[in-house]
Chains A and B, each alone.
Chain A
Amino acid sequence: MADEKLTEVTRVPLWDPEQDDVLVCRQVRQETHDVKTFVFSGREPRAFRFYPGQYMTFDLPVEGMVTRCYTISASAARPYRVEITVKRVPGGPGSNWLHDYMVPGKEVNVSGPGGEFTADATGEDKLLFLSAGSGITPMMSMTRTACDLSEPSDLHFVHAARSPADIIFRDELALLATQNPSLKLAFTCETASANHSWSGYTGRLSLQMLSLMSPDFLERKIFCCGPALFMEGVRNMLQQAGFNMEKYYEESFDFGAETAGDLEEYASVAPEISDQTFRVSFPKTGHVVECGPGMTVLSAAREAGLLPVSSCQRGICGTCKSKLISGQVDMQHGGGIRQREIDQGKILICCSTPLSDIEVEI
């Protein structure tokens, strides 16, 4: 019997993109203040076959329906669940929707996996992963997969973040590096923040810095993923160093060039400029929360554990109209509030981002 030859003791059927299209959310993890990991499996048990670095395409019920591609961050060697790791993006309806509404038990329609950006870190090539921001997700999938299968052969993992608080998977990477001597880590943060001590590299990734992080980078195959400006900087840097660009691979989160992706969402990711957070206070309940860049007051309220009524999430319906007691916000509303109400100190919290510490009455 053919079945007897399977090593697959659970005999779980393969996820078949031609047949299967519904994922069920099983777990949500808060990775950083504005990044969450969403863990999915099929309705019935399914084994997912994908290459680390591939993405799945999600249909999200925002503005009728939007389609968004998210890289699988999970290990391809743990095939029964897939994970995506998503950063909340100001003005990004897809990521905001996931952050605000995707909870265990919720179902979502998907297609894929797809994509060509993959590397076998257990192979003979010496590898260098260069990522910035949420561009870490394909690298994480490749790294986790390699660690699960055996051990990366020789992998330098360099990641650039805005601040120490923004380093996604920091603890897990540290653990993997402890267990796998062939994995070397280096982080750089654009700025250190007052709240976290930081002894790593500081500033934008430079050639000089890279030479210290990965002295033999010229001999490596390089995989790069991050905001467009970051990748452009890396390309220039490598060319300047005389790197053989045939060994350079990059993945843009602007999938638009290859598939149905989202330019707008990507565009708003690009300028990762500041790690400034503002204190958002809700004096009525006594909740206080630190609000990261681009985070709406509504999201901040949810982070604080409050559930203010809201509906459209983009300033059209006016359901979330609240009183701004102090401070300034940037409000990009869609007609859900009148100038006279704004003059009276009202804001729509779903489309307002703090420009200072603020107090809001909800």
Chain B
Amino acid sequence: MRSTSEIQSLVNRRQKNKSLEAPFYNAAEILDLDIDVIFGKHWIFVAVDPELPEPGDCVTVEIGNASILILRGDDMELRAFHNVCRHRGARLIDERATTIGNIVCRYHGWSYNEDGELILAEHMGSGFDKSCHGLKTVHVRSIAGLIFICLAKDAPEDIEDLARTMEPYIAPHDIAHCKVAHSSELIEEGNWKLTMENNRECYHCEGNHPQLTVPLSEFGFGFSPDELDERRSGDVKKYLESVARDHQRWESCGLPSAEEDHLANVTGFRTMRLPLSWEGESHTLDTKVASKKLLGSFTDAKLGGLSFWTHPNSWHHFMSDHIVTFSVLPLAPNRTLVRTTWLVHKDAIENQDYTLDNLTQVWTMTNLQDAMLVRLAQLGSEQPAYEPGPYSTFTEPHVEAFCDWYIKRLQNHFAETKAELAAE
């Protein structure tokens, strides 16, 4: 069992541009700290608006031991509460997604309205004060249809920076008028940070993602210019040309496309609209749209793929015809849930405007391939010979950005804890 000071020294001696020391990937007490400090105090991406399209729709999400229920009220606003009855603590909603009137505990019938106020608790006597037993609230924020929650009492305020920057990028894809075409839950046998690190580079793409790299250029996430053979030089040149050309075209029709890198923020994020190869329409094997019904008011299918990452737990791809979102939630030091959701226009009809197979196959395959890589990385971190290795400054700067952010958040936590102790 590592003490707090041991963890603190692991944090402090972390070397920049190198992978983390093994305990960060496999120690239970560090996962506990991650759940408390990272997942308990930052904005966590958990769902999309179309999962709760109507009043009374409700989804639940588990972050560590906390179960949170998110409910859309009659005023169409979202509310989030701890999914715990104030009577004897029974879980209120046991389904991942459901529709409810009031929030009712099936154990003894305690009932809460959509604002979390206790409105019915029988047999508690006339002296019982219902107003003291409302549900505990959780911060919730939908950013152009992407739902984030924060378990902290005081949520990081720079979510506003993210909202201000990202809404113009995301809004044209009109999540509000999408529906969930498919969702999947994949458990990767690795630490959540390995899942995130793997996502933040495409160094591994060419050797592992034959489907993903049909539409998506591995060069969209960095490369070493000195080591390119003739084929790759040609590809890079083409890619860079397409970035310049496409960005100009997209920007001119009101689609922000330029890179925005705010990965060092407390609520860290990065975005860029990436050109896609071949037909350039979507993340499909033929790179054409998977759904005939384009999103929002799009008339042009060739809008590339808007890539959007957030710390600590999400990435997203917005195309002209569909959206794929990914939410990463730790389950154990070596187990991580990756929840993937595919959205299409709400009026798109399955097997007429799209087929699930064509819509989902690129990311279904890619997720499985990534899960295997994360598992190998996890196994490696548990070997005695493992030691932190160097990141490529060309292809892995965003992995470094993620680890740097993570380490800084822990440092900040220890500094705050120390300040609190000193103040007592």
* Closest chain A residue, CB of each to CB of B100: A318
Q: Tell me whether A213 is interfacial, beta carbon within 8 Å.
A: no
Q: Tell me whether A61 is interfacial, beta carbon within 8 Å.
A: yes
Q: Which residues of A contact B168 (CB under 8 A)?
A: none
Q: Which of A200-208, A289-297, A329-337 contacts B (4 or more CB under 8 A)?
A: A329-337
Pair A312/B109 contact, Cβ less than 8 Å: yes
Q: Which residues of A contact B109 (CB under 8 A)?
A: 311-312, 317, 319
Pair B122/A61 contact, Cβ less than 8 Å: yes
Q: Tell me whether B104 is interfacial, beta carbon within 8 Å.
A: yes
* Closest chain B residue, CB of each to CB of A319: B104
Q: Tell me whether A338 is interfacial, beta carbon within 8 Å.
A: yes
Pair A63/B99 contact, Cβ less than 8 Å: no
User: Within residues 294 to 324 of chain A, which ones have a CB less than 8 A from any CB in chain B?
Assistant: 311-312, 316-319
A334-B119 CB under 8 A given contacts A65-B126, A316-B111: yes
CA distance A181 to B122 in the complex (A): 51
Q: Tell me whether B210 is interfacial, beta carbon within 8 Å.
A: no
Report the interface size for chain B: residues with CB under 8 A from the other chain.
Answer: 23
Q: Which residues of B contact A64 (CB under 8 A)?
A: 121-126, 128
Whole-angstrom distance from the CB of A336 to the nearest CB of chain B? 4
Q: Which residues of A contact B100 (CB under 8 A)?
A: 318, 338
Q: Which residues of A contact B102 (CB under 8 A)?
A: 316-318, 334-336
Q: Tell me whether B113 is interfacial, beta carbon within 8 Å.
A: yes
Q: Which residues of A contact B121 (CB under 8 A)?
A: 64
Q: Tell me whether A341 is interfacial, beta carbon within 8 Å.
A: yes
User: Within residues 10 to 53 of chain A, which ones have a CB less than 8 A from any CB in chain B?
Assistant: none
Q: Tell me whether A196 is interfacial, beta carbon within 8 Å.
A: no
Q: Tell me whether B356 is interfacial, beta carbon within 8 Å.
A: no
Name the residue among B99, B109, B122 with the largest chain A CB count within 10 angstroms: B122
Q: Which residues of A contact B55 (CB under 8 A)?
A: 338-340
User: Within residues 227 to 263 of chain B, which ones have a CB less than 8 A from any CB in chain A?
Assistant: none
Whole-angstrom distance from the CB of A143 to the nearest CB of chain B? 37
Q: Which residues of B contact A319 (CB under 8 A)?
A: 104, 106, 109
Pair B123/A317 contact, Cβ less than 8 Å: no
* Closest chain A residue, CB of each to CB of B108: A311
Whole-angstrom distance from the CB of B99 to the nearest CB of chain A? 7
Q: Tell me whether B389 is interfacial, beta carbon within 8 Å.
A: no
CA distance A184 to B125 in the complex (A): 47
CA distance A316 to B104 in the complex (A): 8
CA distance A63 to B111 in the complex (A): 12
Candidates B74, B104, B124, B128; contact of A336 at CB < 8 Å: B104
Pair B54/A340 contact, Cβ less than 8 Å: yes
Q: Tell me whether B215 is interfacial, beta carbon within 8 Å.
A: no
Interface residues as binary, B102-116 with A (CB distance below 8 Å gives 1, 0 otherwise): 101010010101100
CA distance A64 to B119 in the complex (A): 11
* Closest chain A residue, CB of each to CB of B119: A316
Candidates B54, B99, B113; contact of A335 at CB < 8 Å: B113
CA distance A336 to B99 in the complex (A): 11
A337-B101 CB under 8 A given contacts A312-B111, A316-B119, A317-B120: yes
User: Within residues 113 to 164 of chain B, which ones have a CB less than 8 A from any CB in chain A?
Assistant: 113-114, 119-126, 128
Q: Tell me whether B304 is interfacial, beta carbon within 8 Å.
A: no
Candidates A311, A335, A339, A340; contact of B114 at CB < 8 Å: A335
Name the residue among A316, A334, A337, A340 with the largest chain B CB count within 10 angstroms: A316
Pair A65/B125 contact, Cβ less than 8 Å: yes
Q: Which residues of B contact A335 (CB under 8 A)?
A: 101-102, 113-114, 119
Pair B104/A61 contact, Cβ less than 8 Å: no
Whole-angstrom distance from the CB of B314 to the nearest CB of chain A? 29
CA distance A65 to B128 in the complex (A): 11
CA distance A75 to B363 in the complex (A): 81
Whole-angstrom distance from the CB of B148 to the nearest CB of chain A? 25
CA distance A341 to B74 in the complex (A): 13
Whole-angstrom distance from the CB of A319 to the nearest CB of chain B? 7
Q: Tell me whether B56 is interfacial, beta carbon within 8 Å.
A: yes
Q: Which residues of B contact A318 (CB under 8 A)?
A: 100-102, 104
Q: Which residues of A contact B113 (CB under 8 A)?
A: 335
Q: Which residues of B contact A337 (CB under 8 A)?
A: 101
Pair B104/A317 contact, Cβ less than 8 Å: yes
CA distance A339 to B120 in the complex (A): 21
Pair B114/A63 contact, Cβ less than 8 Å: no
Q: Which residues of A contact B123 (CB under 8 A)?
A: 61, 64
Q: Which residues of A contact B119 (CB under 8 A)?
A: 316, 334-335
CA distance A264 to B123 in the complex (A): 21
A312-B54 CB under 8 A given contacts A64-B126, A317-B111, A335-B114: no
Q: Which residues of B contact A338 (CB under 8 A)?
A: 54-56, 74, 99-101
CA distance A336 to B120 in the complex (A): 11
Interface residues as binary, B2-40 with A (CB distance below 8 Å gives 1, 0 otherwise): 000000000000000000000000000000000000000
CA distance A68 to B376 in the complex (A): 71
Candidates B99, B120, B125; contact of A312 at CB < 8 Å: B120
A336-B101 CB under 8 A given contacts A64-B125, A312-B120, A317-B111: yes
* Closest chain A residue, CB of each to CB of B53: A340
Q: Which residues of B contact A339 (CB under 8 A)?
A: 55, 74
* Closest chain A residue, CB of each to CB of B55: A338
User: Within residues 171 to 224 of chain A, which ones have a CB less than 8 A from any CB in chain B?
Assistant: none
Whole-angstrom distance from the CB of B419 to the nearest CB of chain A? 45
CA distance A339 to B75 in the complex (A): 12
Whole-angstrom distance from the CB of A6 to the nearest CB of chain B? 41
CA distance A311 to B107 in the complex (A): 11
* Closest chain B residue, CB of each to CB of A346: B101
User: Within residues 46 to 98 of chain A, which ones have a CB less than 8 A from any CB in chain B?
Assistant: 61-65
Whole-angstrom distance from the CB of A106 to the nearest CB of chain B? 14
Q: Which residues of A contact B56 (CB under 8 A)?
A: 338, 340-341
Pair A341/B104 contact, Cβ less than 8 Å: no
Whole-angstrom distance from the CB of A284 to the nearest CB of chain B? 23
Q: Which residues of B contact A62 (CB under 8 A)?
A: 122
Whole-angstrom distance from the CB of B110 to the nearest CB of chain A? 9
Pair A316/B120 contact, Cβ less than 8 Å: yes
Pair A341/B126 contact, Cβ less than 8 Å: no
Whole-angstrom distance from the CB of B109 to the nearest CB of chain A? 5
Q: Which residues of A contact B104 (CB under 8 A)?
A: 311-312, 316-319, 336
User: Within residues 333 to 362 of chain A, which ones have a CB less than 8 A from any CB in chain B?
Assistant: 333-341
Whole-angstrom distance from the CB of B262 to the nearest CB of chain A? 39
CA distance A64 to B106 in the complex (A): 18
CA distance A312 to B120 in the complex (A): 8
Q: Which residues of B contact A340 (CB under 8 A)?
A: 54-56, 99
CA distance A335 to B120 in the complex (A): 11
Whole-angstrom distance from the CB of B108 to the nearest CB of chain A? 9
Which are the 9 A-B pairs with shortest beta-carbon distances? A338-B56, A336-B101, A317-B104, A318-B101, A335-B102, A311-B109, A337-B101, A316-B111, A316-B120
What are 12 pairs between A and B in contact, CB < 8 Å?
Answer: A62-B122, A64-B125, A64-B128, A65-B125, A316-B119, A318-B102, A335-B101, A335-B119, A336-B104, A336-B111, A340-B54, A341-B101
Not counting A62-B122, A312-B122, A338-B55, a sample of 13 additional A-B residue pairs whose C-beta atoms are within 8 angstroms of each other reads: A63-B120, A64-B122, A64-B123, A64-B126, A311-B109, A312-B104, A316-B102, A316-B104, A317-B120, A319-B106, A335-B102, A340-B54, A341-B56
